[in-house]
Amino acid sequence: MSNALFRPEWPIIGHEWAVRHITRSLNAERLRHAYLISGVPRIGKTTFARAFAQAVNCLSDVARPCGLCRACQMTAQGTYADFSLIEAQENALRIEQIRELTRAVALRPVEGRYRVLILRRFHEASPQAMDALLKTLEEPPPHVLLLLTADTTESLLATIKSRCQLLNLRPLPVVTVRDALIDQHKVEPERAALIAQLSSGRMGWALDVLKDDSLLKQRAEWLDLLERALGESRTLRFERARHLSENRAALPTLLALWQSYWRDALLLAHHTAAASITNRDRRHALEQIARSVKAEEIYQTLLAVRRTLRYLQANVNTRLALDALMLELPRLRLLAAP
């Protein structure tokens, strides 16, 4: 029997239960040949799969994955001979990619214990590609470890799911994301708290924002627009609706943001602690709304935003839907933050 060589200290944040599960299987030498790692986008599925790949081929005699040996480092860089990451191209994992994979798995590993293949975004695989993979899953060569990642498992063939060990990754607690941003990425605490809250527990999303803050800039613009519209005339509000309707693709994200804003206002109107609101950087404006507008009216506004989202999904005329929403926003002039 093994002496617990594999350790649960993986180079990832959170998902401890999944790491413990894999670590136990590795230590008991009961590793499966295929794992299906699912969870919402940017939650850390590929990061998890890569750490898994490091663990199985790590050269340390003490604790795997060590993060330092040739196998760990080259796997992290994507240059290890026994590691491949296969990704859907143009939103589809194609049958040729699976055939290439099938040829690759037939070969013995070059230097590692396993030939590890990550198939990313497997929910976008074509039915033919899934079929082609089935054969490999039915008779997997002993030295192969297949790691499939998928945002959702609904579209996957039942025969694929039944041949994989399922690992459904869940969003991390917001404080876990916040602490990781502060401790490992040196983000200033207030900014870390905001990004963590907005990430809804998706570490990958939080790291995306650190690299490219255009997401946060866009968010600020959309919230500024909403807050200004509250103090504006009908004519100006319709002008804004016209302008917004020109960018239809952005509207689901914008409306989801506005929905979270009115949810925050409603929480404050019901005297919920300000620490639990999502848009914490807008606390000053939200508190004014909670003080000046009746809770019932805030609730109606929240419903109006939700309704608009549904209308857009149902292909209702965008301009009309936004005009109607603009009319339902309460009227008040917000004072600038002190």
Shortest reach from residue 59's CB to Zn ion, in Å: 5
Contacts of 319 (CB under 8 A, 6+ apart): 241, 242, 245
Of 231-250, binders to Zn ion (CB under 5 A) are none
In the complex with Zn ion, the residue whose CB is nearer, 53 or 72, is 72
Contacts of 23 (CB under 8 A, 6+ apart): 6, 7, 8, 55
> Which tokens sit at 305?
């935003």
Closest CA to 119 of 100, 135, 140, 143: 100
Task: Say which residue the tokens 């419903």 belong to.
Answer: 303
Specify the residue, 74 or 286, whose C-beta has the smaller distance to Zn ion: 74
Q: Does 257 bind Zn ion (CB under 5 A)?
A: no
Closest to Zn ion by CB, 72 vs 101, is 72
Residues with Cβ < 8 Å from 317, sequence gap 6 or more? none
Shortest CB 204 distance to Zn ion, Å = 23
Please count the residues of the chain. 338
Q: How far is the CB of 67 from Zn ion (least distance, A)?
A: 6
Number of neighbours of residue 69 by Cβ within 10 angstroms: 17
In this structure, the dihedral spanned by the alpha carbons of residues 56, 59, 61 and 64, taken in order and rounded to 10 degrees, is: -40
State which residue, 62 or 158, has the beta carbon closest to Zn ion: 62
- How many chain residues are in contact with Zn ion, going by CB under 5 A? 5
- Cβ closest to Zn ion, residue 54 vs residue 259: 54
Site residues for Zn ion, 166-205, by CB under 5 A, read none
Residue 68: CB minimum distance to Zn ion, A? 6
Pattern 40-79, Zn ion, x by CB under 5 A: ------------------x-x-----x--x--x-------
Side chain identity at 239, as an amino acid letter? Answer: E
Q: Which of residues 72-111 bind Zn ion (CB under 5 A)?
A: 72
Shortest separation between residue 54's beta carbon and Zn ion, angstroms: 6
H helix or E strand, kind and range, residue 256: helix 251-269
> How far apart, in whole angstroms, are the C-alpha atoms of residue 242 and residue 229?
13
Q: Which is nearer to Zn ion, 60 or 218 (CB)?
A: 60
Q: Kindly state the smallest distance separating residue 58's Cβ from Zn ion, in Å.
A: 3
Q: Which residues bind Zn ion (CB under 5 A)?
A: 58, 60, 66, 69, 72
